[in-house]
């Protein structure tokens, strides 16, 4: 699942993950995502979330997502323009598993997936 208020970023990340064999669902806000997750037949293999979004920040989403025990084992990647080390530390302390700074390349995303064992 890709959660980002930018339609362009959702499309780019969706294309990248589709090329790696993933079925991709998207949400435009952190508030929209939980409803889509509840309606899905199974837990996602991976969630990518932007930090800066209206209604609910990515960090708030991470906290809510991790509060649900059904998603304890789902890898979560922050994909954001936040470049400060303190922000990265906050995201990882809040239980994000990976952190990618925008702008990113397909290779950076693929490398993160390889580290997590999600692609060859």
The answer to whether residue 120 scores a pLDDT higher than 70 is: no
Contact (Cβ atoms closer than 8 angstroms) between residue 92 and residue 85? no
Contact (Cβ atoms closer than 8 angstroms) between residue 2 and residue 26? yes
pTM of the model: 0.92
Residue range 50-76: average pLDDT?
Answer: 94
Read off the pLDDT of residues 2-32 as tens digits, 9 standing for 90 and up. Answer: 999 999 999 999 998 898 888 999 999 999 9
Class of CATH domain 2-115: alpha beta
């Amino acid at each position: 699942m890709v959660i980002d208020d930018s339609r362009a970023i959702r499309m780019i990340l969706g294309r990248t993950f589709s090329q790696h064999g993933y079925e991709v669902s998207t949400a435009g806000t952190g508030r929209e995502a939980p409803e889509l997750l509840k309606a899905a037949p199974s837990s996602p293999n991976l969630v990518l979330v932007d930090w800066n979004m209206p209604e609910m920040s990515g960090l708030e989403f991470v906290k809510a997502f991790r509060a649900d025990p059904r998603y304890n084992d789902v890898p979560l990647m922050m994909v954001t323009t936040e470049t400060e080390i303190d922000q990265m530390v906050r995201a990882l302390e809040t239980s994000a598993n990976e952190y990618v700074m925008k702008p990113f390349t397909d290779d950076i995303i693929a490398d993160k997936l390889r580290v997590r064992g999600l692609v060859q």
